[in-house]
Amino acid sequence: MNEYTKAVIDSTTEKNPAETEYLQAVREVLTTIDPVVEKHKEFKKLAILERMVEPERTIMFRVPWVNDEGQTIVNRGFRVQFSSLIGPYKGGLRFHPSVNLSIMKFLGFEQIFKNALTGLPIGGAKGGSNFNPKGKSDAEIMRFCQSFMTELYRHIGHDVDVPAGDIGVGGREIGYLFGQYRRIRDAYEGGVLTGKDPIYGGSLARTEATGYGLLFFMREMLAANNISIKDKTVTISGAGNVAIYACEKAQAMGAKVVTMSDSNGCIYDENGIDLALVKEIKEVKRGRIKEYLDKHPEAKYIEKSGSANPAWTTKTDIALPCATQNELNLEDAKTLVKNGVLAVGEGANMPCTEEATIYLLEHKILVAPAKAANAGGVATSAIEMTQNSIRYYYTFDEVVEKLDKIMTNIFKSCKDASEKYGVAGNYVAGANIAAFEKLAKAMEAQGVV
């Protein structure tokens, strides 16, 4: 590895010793862009890498709120404004008990590259809280969101920073956050948050965008390798926003999806997942995936034990991890390869561990990296911002058509970059290189800021 690249990895590790997820994301990007750094000796003098890995601004704040029993609870809020190089900070909010600074920084760092790949003018950010929405009443969720926004509002704006949803933050939460922002600012600024309901300024197809986009990318990647998705078996982890719409599009493309999961366990239905039922359980009742068996007793339920994810022990052609980071480890990768998997598509952010990705690539499995493959969500968020600015709304089909084009272009950028640097077929490296080249150029052009 280039000495400069290695020195930046070492100094980042030294400065952030406890931030394991963030360091994992930095290592993954920096090791794959090494050939570009090797070619551009001027990057060292300009400290391009040091500037790329350091957030422009990190905000941490207290979020006090009162639960239904009258108890005051204090959570921690975050917004990591990583880069505004090519557009306003843009990235989702995650509400999950595991949220900490390392996870926020890893997600913010990934987001810069992802957003650059979309070809749209958006910078990178991430935010959230260690608040756990599970089991909370609507009134508790609303009070939490209002308190969270009462601090966040001063740091965001449609030309400054535009948050959206992520794990634990869906349409309901975005609604409460937007309402509080609008009240504080005393103005309707539609483009300040994306993922809004279309009745008050959201984009049609934003809900479906990440899952659909993943399948558009997968279709292109398979086609470039002379494989069709039709009649393939697909295993999916997660049963949230990304997983549900990945399943919907995979089924529409003629594939058979046989698993979905949540943090408690996984369902396996050899007849193909009944998606209408999963939507009813997850989107309407906010229940557990196990309830699938109430209507389909012939399906199997496998309880999650330890770190193993039961979705990956099933024989499959295509595996789509759509739940959370590091949910597909080296053991899982070995099992998938042994069972003849053809492709892995990352719907979640960084779902494969470093070792798993290396193992899959070494075994010539096609890997669609998260930064590229799940960029459809943020790309559609950018389309939502456009609609808010022009005060005109596209039809569902118009948005999906734009999304399809964007995902097709993203795949092409990854493929071209991998070929240009002699790693053809390694779309993980291709995605990092394509995004990095663009960002480094923008950084050089804007001087030392």
**Given the rule CB under 6 A, which residues bind ligand NDP?**
165-168, 210, 238-243, 262-264, 322-324, 347-349, 374, 377
CA distance 190 to 307: 41
Q: Quick check: is 126 catalytic?
A: yes
User: For residues 156 and 192, is the Cβ–Cβ distance under 8 A?
Assistant: yes
- Of 34 and 166, the one with the shorter C-beta distance to ligand NDP is 166
Residues in the chain: 449
For the bound state, the minimum distance from the C-beta of residue 44 to ligand NDP, rounded and expressed in Å, comes to 33
- Which neighbouring-strand residues pair with 59? 79
Q: Which residue has the tokens 């390694």?
A: 426
Q: Which of 90, 126, 232, 415 is catalytic?
A: 126
Q: CB of residue 348 vs ligand NDP: minimum separation in angstroms?
A: 3
d(CA 51, CA 230): 44
Q: Name 265's bridge partners.
A: 303
Q: How far is the CB of 5 from ligand NDP (least distance, A)?
A: 27
Following DSSP, what letter does each residue of 255-273 receive, concatenated?
A: -EEEEEE-SSEEEE-TT--
Q: Going edge to edge, which strands form the sheet with 300-303?
A: 300-303, 265-268, 256-261, 233-237, 318-321, 343-345, 366-368
Q: How far apart are the C-alpha atoms of 344 and 236, rounded to whole Å? A: 10
Cα 349 from Cα 124, distance rounded (Å)? 14
Shortest Å distance, C-beta 170 to ligand NDP:
6
Beta strands in 12-68 (DSSP E): 57-66
Distance CA 103, CA 94 (A): 10
Closer to ligand NDP at the Cβ: 127 or 377? 377
| C-beta closer to ligand NDP: residue 87 or 347 | 347
Closest contact distance (angstroms) between CB of 286 and ligand NDP is 9
CB of 14 to ligand NDP, least distance (A): 28
Sheet of 161-164: strand order equals: 57-66, 72-83, 124-129, 89-95, 161-164
- Using Cβ positions, the residue closest to ligand NDP within the complex turns out to be 240
Tokens standing for residue 312: 């990956």
Q: Which is nearer to ligand NDP, 118 or 147 (CB)?
A: 118
What would you measure as the largest C-alpha separation in the chain, in angstroms?
Answer: 64
Residue partners of 207: CB distance under 8 A and separation at least 6: 171, 195, 241, 245
Q: Nearer Cβ to ligand NDP, position 5 or 202?
A: 202
Contact of 381 with 190, CB cutoff 8 Å: no
CB of 185 to ligand NDP, least distance (A): 25
Which CB, 262 or 317, lies closer to ligand NDP?
Answer: 262
Of 227 and 299, nearer to ligand NDP (C-beta) is 299
CB 191 within 8 A of CB 162: yes
Strands 343-345 and 366-368: parallel
State both tokens at 215: 């399948």
DSSP state of 42: H
Between 187 and 276, CB nearer to ligand NDP: 276
Shortest distance (Å) from residue 424 CB to ligand NDP? 26
Residues serving a catalytic function are 126
